[in-house]
Amino acid sequence: MVQVAVMGHGVVGSGVVEVLQNHRDSIAKRAKAELNIKYILDIRDFPDSPYADKFTKNFDDILNDDDIKVVAEVMGGVHPAYDFTKKLLLAGKSVVTSNKELVATKGAELIEIAKSNNVNYLFEASVGGGIPIIRPMVQCLAANDMIEVAGILNGTTNFILTKMIREHMAFDDALKMAQSLGYAERNPTADVEGHDACRKIAILASIAYGKHIYPNLVHTQGITKIALDDVAYAASWGGVIKLIGQVKRLDDGKLDITVEPMFISSESQLSSVDDVFNGILVRGDATGDVVFYGKGAGKLPTASAVVADMIDCAKHLKERKYLYWADGDESLVKPYNETEYPVYFRVSCEDKKAVADAALEIFPNSRILVRSDAPETELAFVTETMTVDMQNEKSAALEKAGAVILSKIRISDL
Q: Give the range of 55-63, 124-132, 194-202, 388-396 binding its own copies by CB under 8 A.
A: 124-132
DSSP secondary structure string, 260-292?
EEEEEETTSGGGG--TTEEEEEEEETTTEEEEE
- Looking at beta carbons only, is 258 or 304 nearer to its own copies? 304
Instruction: Give phi and psi for 213, each to the nearest 5.
Output: -100, 110
**Is residue 19 involved in binding its own copies (CB under 8 A)?**
yes
- Looking at beta carbons only, is 15 or 194 nearer to its own copies? 15
Size of the site for its own copies (CB under 8 A): 46
**Is residue 140 involved in binding its own copies (CB under 8 A)?**
yes
- Looking at beta carbons only, is 10 or 288 nearer to its own copies? 288
**Is residue 150 involved in binding its own copies (CB under 8 A)?**
no
Q: How far is the CB of 161 from its own copies (least distance, A)?
A: 17
**Is residue 72 involved in binding its own copies (CB under 8 A)?**
no
For residue 311, what are the contacts with CB-CB under 8 A and spacing of at least 6? 27, 30, 31, 35
Where b means 16+ CB within 10 Å and e means fewer, 150-159 reads: bbbbbbbbbb
**Is residue 111 involved in binding its own copies (CB under 8 A)?**
no
Q: Give the range of 152-160, 220-228, 291-299, 390-398 binding its own copies by CB under 8 A.
A: 291-299
Q: How far is the CB of 133 from its own copies (least distance, A)?
A: 9
> Within 13 Å of residue 5, how many CA atoms lie on the same side as its CB?
31
Q: Which of 414, 132, 131, 140 is nearest to 286 (CA)?
A: 140
Q: Give the range of 213-221, 305-313, 328-336, 364-372 binding its own copies by CB under 8 A.
A: 305-313
* Active-site residue, from 200, 242, 248, 352: 200
Rounded to an integer, what distance in angstroms lies between the CA atom of residue 237 and that of residue 239?
A: 6
CB 19 within 8 Å of CB 304: yes
DSSP structural state of residue 211: B
200 is catalytic: yes
Where helices occur in 296-385 by DSSP H, the ranges are 299-315, 352-362
Q: Which residues bind its own copies (CB under 8 A)?
A: 19, 23, 26-27, 30, 32, 124, 130-132, 135-136, 139-145, 269, 272, 284-295, 298, 300-301, 303-305, 307-308, 311-312, 315, 319, 322
